[in-house]
Amino acid sequence: MIRALFRLMSYAIVVINLLSCGTFLYIIAPYTSYFFFNDLRFWKYLKYYHKYYFYSAAYIWGLLSREQGLIKTVLPLTSPPMDRPDPTLFRLSKQWTLPEDSCGECNRCCTFIVDCCFLDTSGNRCLCYGSLFWKYFNCGRFPSSQAMLNYCECPKFETRG
Ligand code: SF4
Ligand code: SF4
């Protein structure tokens, strides 16, 4: 129940932020900073707020206009936060030669539909790693479904079976 409320609140914040032309994230800056970066020192992250506004608008528009098939991959509201794919469904690919905690040069799951605003392309690094946003939505648990695995043609994971 708490998880469902948390996710609904997060979706509501995204909608309110879009309707307010990106100002809402600044109004709730300490929470925004904690949600995305695990850090209450919001002044360090203000430059990402407007980037998230444009990213979220482009992502939602891309999803609705081009990639409706991915809408079914939206997580159930009550699903637990996760920092790895479901081990009962997915495992490391037999062809994967890099360490388990590395994705090498690949960033497909951070650039589908539109490039994520929290991807540091200079080091192929996630700036949100480990945050509430990362754990509660599709990042930490990627791939969250077979559809996502197929869509991103992820070279790292394969279906267990
Ligand atoms: S698609 Fe797979 S290999 Fe590529 S960044 Fe995502 S999890 Fe890593
Ligand atoms: S893992 Fe990080 S960079 Fe990739 S989509 Fe999620 S927040 Fe963006």
Q: What gap in Å lies between CA 145 and CA 97, rounded to an integer?
A: 23
- For residues 103 and 149, the answer to whether their CB atoms sit within 8 Å is no
| Stretch 41-51: mean pLDDT | 97
Q: What is the pLDDT of residues 96-144, one digit of tens each?
A: 999 998 999 999 999 989 999 999 988 889 999 999 999 999 899 999 8
Return d(Cα 27, Cα 77) in angstroms, integer. 26
Ligand nearest to the CA of 144: 1
Q: Give the span between the Cα atoms of 104 and 2, in whole angstroms.
A: 36
Residue of 149, 154, 145 lying closest to 108 (CA atoms):
154
pLDDT surpasses 80 at 161: no
Query: Can you tell me which atom of ligand 1 is nearest the CA of 152?
Result: 1
Say what percent of the chain tops pLDDT 90.
Answer: 81
User: Over the chain, what is the mean pLDDT?
Assistant: 94
Q: What is the pLDDT of residue 136?
A: 95
Instruction: Determine the residue of 82, 105, 107 to mutate for testing ligand 1's pocket, defined as the one with the most ligand atoms within 8 A of the Cβ atom.
Output: 107
The verdict on the CB of residue 50 being under 6 Å from ligand 1 is: no
Q: Whole-angstrom Cα distance, residue 133 to residue 151?
A: 21
Query: Rg of the Cα trace of the chain?
Result: 16
